[in-house]
Amino acid sequence: MALEGWIAPNECWERGFDCGGVCPRDLKDDYECDKEDRRTTDPDQLKMQTTAMRNATVFVSEFVLHCEVTSEIRNFTVVALAIVYLVTLVGNTLVLLVIILDHHLQTPMFFLIGTLAVLDLLHNTNLIPKMMALLLFDTSPIPFGACLVQMFLVFHLQIVESFLFTVMAYDRYIAVILPLRYPQLVNGRTVWAGVILCNILSGMPMTAYLIFVHELSFCRTNVLPFCFCDFANMVMISCTENSKYLSFLSTSTTTLGFGTLAITLFSYARIGHAALKISSAEGKGKIFDVLVTHLLVVLLFYLPLLTAFILPGVGIKLSTEAFNTLVIIGTIVPPMINPIIYSFRNKEMKNAIKKLFTGIRTTPGIDEHK
């Protein structure tokens, strides 16, 4: 059944319909709401009506996003989102521009950094403009198809980014631990293969999520208590009582999240162990400085999302505010700070930016000193 809209409960009673407390416009005839018996109080009948509603698969043409932000902090939230988005756009666009223009940066490491910049641009562009419009103009309805696209991009980009963090850690691991084999193990072909593999692996759980969404029945409401389309909230508002949905979300998040995080941390641990053997205090300090900042970014990305998605699957219920806060922090903040940590602290990148703004550009195949 396609559900085009909802009638408020009071309006439903005034029109003389009784559908167990739920009166969607195009379900009146299907459930033969009795105009004479407007307010059924018989428990057995109410139970039968509720069961009938839940057993029917009810589709919606749109969702209504309900971003729970109080009026007192609404303007502050909009300004904060605007700043985050502006920094994300400027930082990641600058990274891409510099990598494209400076042939000295066209190496496997900077190819991975450029890929991360693309992911971050797509990620926050997919989320922040819609969130700002929602808060400013109350444009809360979103078509079902557009909601699925947003949900797909959020999950897909997050999963790809988690794999990419692992690939980038592996790149640094090879550079520090096996420097002589670096050109053989890390080259244009292997990094392209790694990025393609990241996208393929991400598509596997995403296929399951898209199938699950079409199994859900939204007989109670189509209001998502969140600032963007999210699978967990879709499951929570649906009438489909099946634990497999949140269990799959929890299991896949645990497997992918802890799996990639473990490999990433292992690589950084080996790098840190190798740094301890360096006799130069300055060299040792530089490596540990890089490690600490990289680890902060990785943990800021992983910990909020793992907490938000794993706990509901193991029976620990988070409040709506706590869940929303964790997901939003883990979703929109890392794309803003990634260019600062991975790019602008890099000496080669800083020199390339100086060349870009002073009008000195390098061309592939031509020595910049000529």
Residues 276 and 342 in one domain: yes
Question: Is 280 inside a domain boundary?
Answer: yes
Please state, in angstroms and as integers, the Cα–Cα distance from residue 278 to each residue in 130, 269, 274, 346, following that order. Answer: 49, 15, 7, 20
Residues 203 and 290 in one domain: yes
Per residue in 290-325, pLDDT tens? Answer: 788 888 888 888 888 888 877 766 677 777 777 778
Other residues' Cβ atoms within 10 Å of the Cβ of residue 82: 13
Residues 85 and 199 in one domain: yes
pLDDT at 140 over 50: yes
Residues 16 and 111 in one domain: no
Residue ending a domain, among 23, 41, 56, is: 56
Question: Is 143 inside a domain boundary?
Answer: no
Per-residue pLDDT, 312: 67
Residues 113 and 7 in one domain: no
Task: Determine contact, residues 59/30, Cβ cutoff 8 Å.
Answer: no
pTM above 0.85, yes or no: no
Residues 36 and 119 in one domain: no
The CATH code of the domain that includes 89 is 1.20.1070.10
Per residue in 29-87, pLDDT tens? Answer: 443 344 334 444 455 544 444 444 444 556 678 888 887 777 778 888 899 999 999 99
Residues 132 and 94 in one domain: yes
Here the contacts of 324-329 (C-beta below 8 Å, separation 24 or greater) are 324/68, 324/225, 324/226, 324/227, 327/226, 327/230, 328/227, 329/300, 329/304
Residues 103 and 210 in one domain: yes
Task: Determine contact, residues 341/294, Cβ cutoff 8 Å.
Answer: yes
Residues 25 and 129 in one domain: no
Question: Is 69 inside a domain boundary?
Answer: no
Per-residue pLDDT, 304: 86
Per-residue pLDDT, 232: 82
Residues 33 and 84 in one domain: no
Question: Is 250 inside a domain boundary?
Answer: yes
Question: Is 94 inside a domain boundary?
Answer: yes
Other residues' Cβ atoms within 10 Å of the Cβ of residue 348: 15
Residues 191 and 89 in one domain: yes
Per residue in 188-203, pLDDT tens? Answer: 899 999 999 999 988 8
How many structural domains is the chain composed of? 2
Question: Is 231 inside a domain boundary?
Answer: no
Residue 38 belongs to domain spanning:
2-56
Residues 191 and 301 in one domain: yes
Question: Is 207 inside a domain boundary?
Answer: yes
What's the mean pLDDT when you consider all of the chain? 78
